[in-house]
């Protein structure tokens, strides 16, 4: 049976936010954010939503405010994520956060890490800003980087390992900043193993 990926909208902070969803509504959720050059559609295009839904998870990819088909917001970014998770009834999701979306996910985990089951930062921006506040957060975390990342240095992955006791890292060889685009199979392999272990 072909896995259906549904395109939906929800109101958050008074604006219309678009997201894609696949899998059983009651399954363990995996929430995908995206980088500045991408959107929720990216995760459908490379097969991440279908893969996780077929493995029994609820896969959700959101167009962040001002991207894709979502309207812009003027409110707090971590509060936006909190409201999104609550409104979509995502019970302790695993949060996947590449690049620009670190400006949402990093302040979110500093304040609301207990709302998550796991965290997958993919070369997110803003690590140095929040490094000290990550100290001691026990959230299971898998930092994924491309070995050729020229935007966020690979060395920044070690900040997660230094500050967060349950963090680990994976470096995808011959991949750049958007490592999941170049090394998609390897990315899916390490992501799936982490998600299953959460």
Known catalytic residue at 99: yes
Separation in Å, CA 58 to CA 3, 100, 111, 132, 192: 12, 23, 24, 32, 13
Tell me the C-alpha distance between 35 and 123, whole Å. Answer: 10
99, 101, 103, 105: which one is catalytic? 99
Strands (E), 13-153: 15-22, 29-32, 58-62, 94-98, 118-122, 141-146
63, 97, 105, 149: which one is catalytic? 149
Tell me the C-alpha distance between 34 and 70, whole Å. Answer: 13
The catalytic site residues sit at: 99, 149, 177
């Amino acid at each position: 049976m072909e896995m259906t990926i549904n395109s939906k909208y929800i109101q958050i902070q008074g604006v219309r936010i678009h997201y894609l969803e696949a899998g059983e509504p009651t399954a363990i959720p995996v929430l995908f954010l995206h980088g500045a050059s991408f959107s929720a559609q990216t995760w459908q295009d490379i097969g991440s939503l279908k893969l996780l839904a077929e493995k029994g998870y609820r896969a959700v990819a959101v167009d962040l405010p001002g991207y894709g088909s979502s309207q812009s917001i003027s409110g707090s970014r971590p509060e936006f994520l909190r409201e999104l998770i609550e409104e979509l009834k995502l019970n302790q999701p695993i949060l996947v956060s590449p690049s620009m979306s670190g400006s949402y996910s990093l302040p979110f985990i500093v304040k609301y890490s207990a709302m998550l089951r796991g965290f997958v930062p993919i070369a997110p921006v803003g690590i140095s800003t929040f490094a000290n506040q990550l100290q001691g957060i026990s959230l299971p975390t898998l930092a994924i980087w491309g070995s050729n990342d020229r935007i966020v240095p690979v060395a920044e992955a070690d900040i997660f390992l230094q500050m967060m006791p349950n963090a680990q890292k994976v470096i995808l060889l011959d991949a750049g900043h958007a490592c999941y685009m170049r090394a998609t199979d390897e990315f899916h392999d390490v992501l799936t193993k982490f998600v299953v272990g959460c």
